[in-house]
Structure 1
Amino acid sequence: MSDAGDFIDASLQREGSWFRAEDLRSRWGSGLQYYGASVGAVRGTVRDALRRHRGLTHDDITALSSELWSVPVYERRLSAVVLLQSKVSTLDNADLTRVEGFLRTAGLRELADPLAVDVVGPLVSGLDLLGRVRADSVLDRWAREEDVWLRRAALLAPLRAFRGGGGDWGAFVRRARQALALSFQHDRENSSEQDHESDPVREAVALVLDDVAKYRPELEFRVDVT
């Protein structure tokens, strides 16, 4: 383990509490382990690590994020997300491959959504024209993926841009229709009652539409997401 990774892991374990860990396990299941550290403690730990290791390069940051994510502990994976959020300005188009791997194994909205909204979205917005074209092709592919977390990420990524008066609404509409088409197809194939409100893709579309209704009422996309 790297020095920075060891510092973060040890700090998170010190900040943990068994009752918080048990509460998280009861809410989210046993797919991950839990130290029981608070979100504030995770953010503070990453901030302290970056102060201790000021010379971390782009490659150091991305390698550290993979190191933290590699162990299935919720707080470690959240710290990887916070790390990428903190250094998103240093990321480039090639880093979407790494983030895609994280999304495929996220399994929780609490990990997948900040990756989409606070990492993928700003990363894409900060690219030059050629980089943006390449990144858009990646998001188009995510919207057609069987993996529900990739489809959700493709839809939530431009949320901050929409709030700020930017973003490509046409691209969102296209991706939403593609992502929803897969959800509807799965409904037909399963031919069983399903709680549509729990579908991460339908939920993502609804979240964006609700948000846009507040910040950008001129943008419209009518679709049944129930």
Structure 2
Amino acid sequence: MTTAASSLQSLAEVIESELRDRGTSVRATKERAYLKSDLVHYGVGVPGTRAVVATTLRGVELDHDGIVALVEALWNSTGALDDASRGTPVYECCSAATMVLIQTKDHLGAGDTDLFERLLRQSRTWALVDPLAGDAVGPLSEHDAKFAPVLERWASDDDFWIRRSALLAHLRPLREGRGDFERFSRLADAMLEETEFFIRKAIGWVLRDTARTRPEMVFDWMLPRAHRASGVTMREVVKHLSPEQRNALLAAKGTRRSRAGSG
């Protein structure tokens, strides 16, 4: 059956309630500290959150507008643990919203760019940004050319989470032996010397997973740039390369840096 718009808020409330009941204060405290989060945490892991979403939505048919309405309702769910938490967004509900987007991405497209971008800007943590960018925007952008200018714009955004999203949108296609390596490598090249950890890590992560199926391509791209790459990036890049390729990259990185330092 198709769910009426008036019922979507109720669905979001059911998901929020189930998540609250499943949570543990110990996990909530640890997770909030680990993520350095300002959100309310109920203390539910990703598998538990996914199970709640799947169970609640079983048999429910959502059209495009229904998906967006449910995502908005979940994203805007606020804490109800105590007076101090009221009005503060709930991490698990935001995570549930990302899962809804990922599960229903076949109903979404470049016309939803504003929604994706707003959620990415509001996420402020890799735990929300990465699935949104990698598992929702990534597969959509591979098959919809209208995402191309969006990713180009994101790559030069002032917000490093948006720049990270432009990189991670390439992760799944490249990992699976497809994807636009030319575009990714061009965007990554422009960010290669950034000092932001989450940018350095993202570049390394995408190159590492690309090297699972195309190590020669990754090696050939990185070799002339090894002296510009951070240690964080390089440690990821070399994980799936041959010992010879790994040693060549590390030597290039060290040699170029030594010459630059001495001159």
How many angstroms does 1:141 deviate by?
0.2
Aligned counterpart in structure 1 of residue 215 of structure 2, from 214, 217, 224: 217
CA distance in 2, matches of 1:180, 1:69: 33
Q: Which residue of 2 aligns with 1:192?
A: none
Taking the aligned partners of 2:143 and 2:106, their CA distance within structure 1 comes to: 7
Whichever of the two has the greater Rg, that structure is: 2
> What letter is aligned with 2:50?
R
Distance verdict in 2 for CA 1:210–1:18, change over 3 Å: same
- Using the TM superposition, give the Cα deviation of residue 55 of structure 1 relative to its aligned residue in structure 2, in angstroms: 2.5
Give the letter aligned to residue 151 of structure 2: L
Q: 1:59 aligns with which of 55, 65, 72?
A: 65
Alpha-carbon offset, residue 30 of structure 1: 4.3
Provide the C-alpha distance between the structure 2 equivalents of 1:214 and 1:22, rounded to a whole number of angstroms. Answer: 36
Rounded to whole Å, the distance in 2 between the matches of 1:119 and 1:144 is 20
Check if 1:152 corresponds to 2:174.
no
Is the Cα contact below 8 Å between 1:203 and 1:225 reproduced in 2?
no
Letter in 2 for 1:68: L
Higher relative contact order, chain-length normalized (CA < 8 Å, sep 6+):
1
| Residues 5, 68 of structure 1: 8 Å contact kept | yes
User: Residue 177 of structure 2 contacts residue 210 of structure 2 at CA under 8 Å; is this kept in 1?
Assistant: no
Match of 1:91 in 2: 108
SS of aligned partner of 2:179: coil
Rounded to whole Å, the distance in 1 between the matches of 2:13 and 2:47 is 19
Deviation by residue 1:30-75 (Cα, 9 ceiling, x = unmatched): 41110111211100111112115x1321111112112212242110
1:169–1:219 CA contact under 8 A, matched in 2: no
Q: 1:179: Cα distance to partner? A: 3.4
> Structure 2 matches for 1:75-154, cutoff 5 A?
75-127=92-144, 132=145, 134-154=146-166
- Once superposed, what is the RMSD of the aligned Cα atoms? 1.6
What are the ranges of 5 or more consecutive residues in structure 1 without an aligned counterpart? 184-195
Q: TM-score, normalised by structure 1?
A: 0.85
TM-score if structure 2 supplies the norm length? Answer: 0.74
Question: Is residue 89–residue 126 contact of structure 1 (8 Å, CA) maintained in 2?
Answer: no
In the TM superposition, residue 122 of structure 1 has moved relative to its aligned partner by 0.9
Stretch moving more, 211-220 or 79-88: 211-220
1:178 equivalenced with 2:195 (yes/no): no
Contact 1:117 1:159 in 2 (8 A): yes
In structure 1, the residue matched to 2:15 is 8
Comparing 205-214 and 78-87, the one that deviates more: 205-214
Change (3 A) 1:179 1:145: farther
Q: In the TM superposition, what whole-angstrom CA distance separates every residue of 1:71-106 from its partner, at most 9, and x where no partner exists?
A: 421101110111111111111111121111111111
> Distance between the aligned counterparts of 2:12 and 2:71, measured in 1?
9
- Alignment correspondent of 1:20: 27
Give 1:113 shift: 0.7
Give the Cα–Cα distance (whole angstroms) in 2 for the partners of residues 62 and 218 of structure 1: 42
Bigger drift between 161-170 and 216-225 goes to 216-225
